[in-house]
Amino acid sequence: MKGYFSGIIPESEVRQDFRIGHDGRVGEWLGHGYPNQSVMLEEVRFHSIETPLLAIFSYPSAPYPSQTSDPAKLAASRAAETSREEAQIAIFREQPHAKVIVIPNATHYIFLSREEEVISQISDFVNSLPAER
C-alpha cells in the first residue's frame, strides 16, 4: 500500500470494509455500497443533499505502478476513467450546498498522496461553516 498509494490506509477503513476474524485476520468483503455509488445511481435519498458537502476528487489521477505500459490499453483505460470521473464531478457540482475540490495527479487515496492539501481544504471548509446556535 505504501508504494502503490503513497501511504498506509487507516485501519478503520479496513475494519469498515472487511469482516475481521477473532485472530485479527482480514476476512471477506462486507459488500456495502459507497456514497459516490449512491449519488451516481441517483438513489432518492442522495439525489439532493441538503447539508454542506465537501467533495474532493483527484482528476486526472496519478498513474499507478501496476498500470499497463501498452499505449493503446493505457489510452483506453484513461478514456474510460476520464468519462467516469467527469460524470461524478458533474453530479456533485449539481448539489446545492456542495464545495467541489479537484486536485490533479493524486492517487485514489488522495488523503495519503496529497495530505497537506487535503487537510487544508477540509480545514477551510469546516471554518466556512456557520457556527451552531
H helix count then E strand count, the chain: 7, 4
pLDDT of amino acid 98: 92
pLDDT of amino acid 84: 80
pLDDT of amino acid 126: 96
The H or E element that residue 118 is part of is helix 115-128
3-class SS at 89?
helix
3-class SS at 3?
helix
- Would you say the C-alpha torsion 85, 90, 91, 97 has a positive or negative sign? positive
Mean pLDDT by 10 residues, the chain (133 residues): 66 82 89 63 65 89 66 78 83 90 86 91 95 76
**Residue boundaries of the structural domains of the chain:** 34-128
| Length of the chain, in residues | 133
Among the listed residues 74, 59, 66, 67, the one whose alpha carbon sits nearest the alpha carbon of residue 105: 59
pTM passes above 0.75: no
CB 113 within 8 A of CB 6: yes
Task: Give the DSSP letter of residue 51.
Answer: S
